[in-house]
């Protein structure tokens, strides 16, 4: 009974630590170490003594590791604490895409860091539910379609400074330009929009160029539901033939929607567990095959609808491994790496300070590349 009460008290203290203490998992691991030491002292047999001693030592090592990593993460968390968004996002739940922009809406998106204004930009969404681009000239018969996430959508820049808008201006508005990108989107939203007719109902012209802006490996993690901001994202898996198959939404299961989501948020408070999880994800890249299949199927469906189109892919951040690149290129996908577009030190000059999204300068440079190397003008 005494051991049971001590174990229950330890669990209660661990729960309070996770809920209210700074560096909560340092305390959790220290409590585990204390419990292991107490069991070691109380045990009279060799096997329980060895087990409890290992629990004590391993928990103590984890506590030290957690303390070191939490101290390091303190700098980034302090940075996040100084960051304030003011109406940066404006949208509503969507049963196909998880999240969508509100039609015919317009707002000022602002971001501050330590009281300093990082950006104050205007975001306008048209009656088609997409961020606006300039109208094409009268009588235009061809279009350019952009898919992607915040890097293509233009988080932190004005309407006129986004990549699709700049490309439209540089081509003298001869093409109708569509920006299907939204912050937080990934490959799964692109394929879901195509499969559910959301592209067909919006695009009236014949698409000539289709450009998907991917962040690698971030979009892989989003495919696995590891980076979802709202949980209702479309969920895909590979079937027995290696084809992407729609399974519903990530939050369809009651466990994931309620209990598992809450548990995951508590575990994310551990610097040690979070770092370890990211290392495992980066090492195994378990969703590379799904990512490749999703891009290939998206291209296939789009070219069935627009047989005269070219499908291009711009990869931001790090380049995929050679196997991924060769597979994509062998399927006719023209891949452009951002390292070939912007200089090697681009992250220091071409990102918004304390934000991480491309700046207006970055979009101007990339749009020139798109017009010269993809559209060939």
State whether residue 18 is helix, strand or coil: helix
pLDDT in the model for residue 229 = 58
- The residues with which 317 forms a beta bridge, in sequence order, are 216
Query: DSSP alpha helices (H): ranges in the chain?
Result: 2-20, 24-42, 46-81, 150-153, 163-170, 187-195, 218-223, 254-255, 261-267, 271-284, 288-305, 322-330, 346-349, 360-369
Token pair of 125, please? Answer: 């969404």
Task: Determine the Cα–Cα distance for residues 326 and 204; give it in Å rounded to an integer.
Answer: 33
Determine how many CB atoms are found less than 10 A away from the CB of residue 377.
Answer: 10
Place of tokens 């290939």: 296
Q: In this structure, are residues 73 and 23 in contact, taking their beta carbons and an 8 Å threshold?
A: no
pLDDT in the model for residue 174 = 96
Place of tokens 């003008």: 377
In Å, what is the CA distance from 203 to each residue of 95, 214, 254? Answer: 21, 22, 37
Q: In this structure, are residues 41 and 27 in contact, taking their beta carbons and an 8 Å threshold?
A: no
The end-to-end CA distance of the chain, in Å, is: 80
**Cα-to-chain-centroid distance, residue 43:** 49
In Å, what is the CA distance from 265 to each residue of 56, 76, 358? Answer: 26, 18, 28
Q: In this structure, are residues 66 and 23 in contact, taking their beta carbons and an 8 Å threshold?
A: yes
pLDDT in the model for residue 114 = 82
Task: Determine the Cα–Cα distance for residues 110 and 86; give it in Å rounded to an integer.
Answer: 5
Question: Which residue positions in the chain have pLDDT lower than 50?
Answer: 75-76, 78
pLDDT in the model for residue 18 = 77
pLDDT in the model for residue 261 = 58
**Cα-to-chain-centroid distance, residue 365:** 23
pLDDT in the model for residue 334 = 97
Q: Are strands 206-216 and 310-317 parallel, antiparallel or unpaired?
A: parallel
pLDDT in the model for residue 109 = 93
Q: What single string gives the DSSP state of each residue in 90-116?
A: -EEEETTTEEEEPTTEEEEEEEEETTE
pLDDT in the model for residue 75 = 46
pLDDT in the model for residue 110 = 92
pLDDT in the model for residue 311 = 98
Name the nearest CA neighbour of 145 among 102, 111, 193, 83: 193
Contact partners, residue 242, CB within 8 Å, separation at least 6? 289, 293
Determine how many CB atoms are found less than 10 A away from the CB of residue 47.
Answer: 8
Q: Are strands 234-238 and 244-249 parallel, antiparallel or unpaired?
A: antiparallel
């Amino acid at each position: 009974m005494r051991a049971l009460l001590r174990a229950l008290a330890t669990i209660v203290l661990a729960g309070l630590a996770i809920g209210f203490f700074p560096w909560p998992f340092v305390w959790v691991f220290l409590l585990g170490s204390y419990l292991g030491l107490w069991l070691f002292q109380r045990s009279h047999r060799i096997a329980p003594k060895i087990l409890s001693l290992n629990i004590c030592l391993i928990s103590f090592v984890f506590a030290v590791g957690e303390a070191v990593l939490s101290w390091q993460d303190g700098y980034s968390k302090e940075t996040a604490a100084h960051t304030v968004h003011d109406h940066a996002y404006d949208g509503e739940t969507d049963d196909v895409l998880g999240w969508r922009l509100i039609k015919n809406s317009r707002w000022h998106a602002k971001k501050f860091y330590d009281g300093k204004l990082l950006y104050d930009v205007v975001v306008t969404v048209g009656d088609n539910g997409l961020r606006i681009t300039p109208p094409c000239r009268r009588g235009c018969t061809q279009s350019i379609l952009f898919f992607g996430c915040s890097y293509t959508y233009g988080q932190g820049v004005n309407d006129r400074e986004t990549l699709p808008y700049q490309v439209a201006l540089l081509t003298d508005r001869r093409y109708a330009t569509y920006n299907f990108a939204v912050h937080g989107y990934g490959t799964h939203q692109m394929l879901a929009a195509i499969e559910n007719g959301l592209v067909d109902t919006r695009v009236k012209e014949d698409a000539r160029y289709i450009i998907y802006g991917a962040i690698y490996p971030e979009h892989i993690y989003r495919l696995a539901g590891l980076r979802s901001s709202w949980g209702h994202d479309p969920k895909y898996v590979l079937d027995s033939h290696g084809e992407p198959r729609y399974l519903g939404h990530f939050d369809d299961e009651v466990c994931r929607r309620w209990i598992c989501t809450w548990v995951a948020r508590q575990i994310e408070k551990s610097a040690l567990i979070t770092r370890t999880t990211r290392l495992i994800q980066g090492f195994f890249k378990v969703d590379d095959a799904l990512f490749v299949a999703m891009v290939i199927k998206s291209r296939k469906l789009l070219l069935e609808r627009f047989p005269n189109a070219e499908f291009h892919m711009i990869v931001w951040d790090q380049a995929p491994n050679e196997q991924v690149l060769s597979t994509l290129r062998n399927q006719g996908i023209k891949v452009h790496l951002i390292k070939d577009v912007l200089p090697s030190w681009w992250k220091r000059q071409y990102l918004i300070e304390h934000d991480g999204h491309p700046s207006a300068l970055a979009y101007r440079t990339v749009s020139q590349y798109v017009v010269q190397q993809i559209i060939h003008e």
